[in-house]
Structure 1
């Protein structure tokens, strides 16, 4: 079983913001796997399905970003999956727009949603799929930046990286995380 969590903020106001690329990647996986993410459970919207004989649970926490760990902790406590079978997809300002970086484990960096997940789970040894959104311009604070929409130029670049992220998740399930990292990590 694999639990794939995309981080974001609920509501139309945040739908196309930089902070919601995790939700966007889950939406693409949802279409590819024909899994509706529409059940409310564990403070999240979830959907269940199958891929290559594995049960897949797609998750979009509805707690708002900074409390994402509340939802993830409940899911992990209920399903008791191995840490390496929890994939978390989220935005990263330290990576350029259009780039993807996959890691087996690590710190939260500056990401408050990841800080909350790691704090509440009590471990950080789970794969993360970091989707680049670039650094904010000097005149803009971080919160305003990640809650802003993508420019039209960034939106054109974004669709490819979101598709790559969804493919990287499926490839990791099928072939293993190391092979997915080798194939999809930015060079």
Structure 2
């Protein structure tokens, strides 16, 4: 079985530890756990890991957040992976910091990366793991908030949160969507 896990974020050192790069941070730790490195490929940084007989292909789109769908559509086709085996890891302001929620489908909820994926995959029927980054911003300052770095207190908590996210990803690839949602969604 083959899976495509796409962690969303923006490339460049100025975005590295921002809330909007939660997807990149999760996949970076997953690759580190499996002692593999990302290489720059077409439209994405790419690596592959193996877990319990599964081939798990990890991508971090290099298209910037708002064009994430372009990279995901390309890699699904390139690797001949069906949309049913796609999981998108994305930041979510509607969830409290540290919350993790997996869903089999859903709206973009105003997230431009998800909007682009919906557009290019013709629908909302793909799994996503939302990483809660909270909503501690003033009215009209949402973009500044997601493009700012995690606070020092949040940064201390990130390894544990990212570790739980990676447990959920591996569970998704081995146990499936339903059992993973039952076990991990709070």
Residue range with higher mean Cα deviation, 51-60 or 130-139: 130-139
1:100-179 mapped onto 2 (5 Å cutoff):
100-138=100-138, 141-179=141-179
Unaligned 5+ residue runs, structure 1? none
Distance 2:170 2:146 in 1: 27
Q: Which residue number in structure 2 is paired with residue 51 of structure 1?
A: 51
Does the 8 A contact of 2:31 with 2:49 survive in 1?
A: no
Q: Please state whether the residue corresponding to 1:35 is helix, strand or coil.
A: coil
Render the CA deviation track for 1:110-145: whole Å, top value 9, x for unaligned: 210010011011122111000000114225611111
Q: Which residue number in structure 2 is paired with residue 21 of structure 1?
A: 22
Distance 1:13 1:159 in 2: 20
Q: Please state whether the residue corresponding to 1:96 is helix, strand or coil.
A: coil
Q: Please state whether the residue corresponding to 1:34 is helix, strand or coil.
A: coil
Q: Cα distance, 1:103 vs. partner?
A: 0.3
Q: How many residues align?
A: 185
Q: Which residue number in structure 2 is paired with residue 8 of structure 1?
A: 9
Does the 8 A contact of 1:33 with 1:51 survive in 2?
A: no
TM-score (norm 1): 0.94
Q: Please state whether the residue corresponding to 2:6 is helix, strand or coil.
A: strand
- C-alpha RMSD of the superposition: 1.3
Does the 8 A contact of 2:18 with 2:150 survive in 1?
A: yes
Unaligned 5+ residue runs, structure 2? none
TM-score (norm 2): 0.95
Does the 8 A contact of 1:97 with 1:157 survive in 2?
A: no
Q: Please state whether the residue corresponding to 2:56 is helix, strand or coil.
A: strand
Q: Cα distance, 1:147 vs. partner?
A: 0.3
Distance 2:63 2:39 in 1: 15
Q: Which residue number in structure 2 is paired with residue 88 of structure 1?
A: 88
Does the 8 A contact of 1:39 with 1:47 survive in 2?
A: no
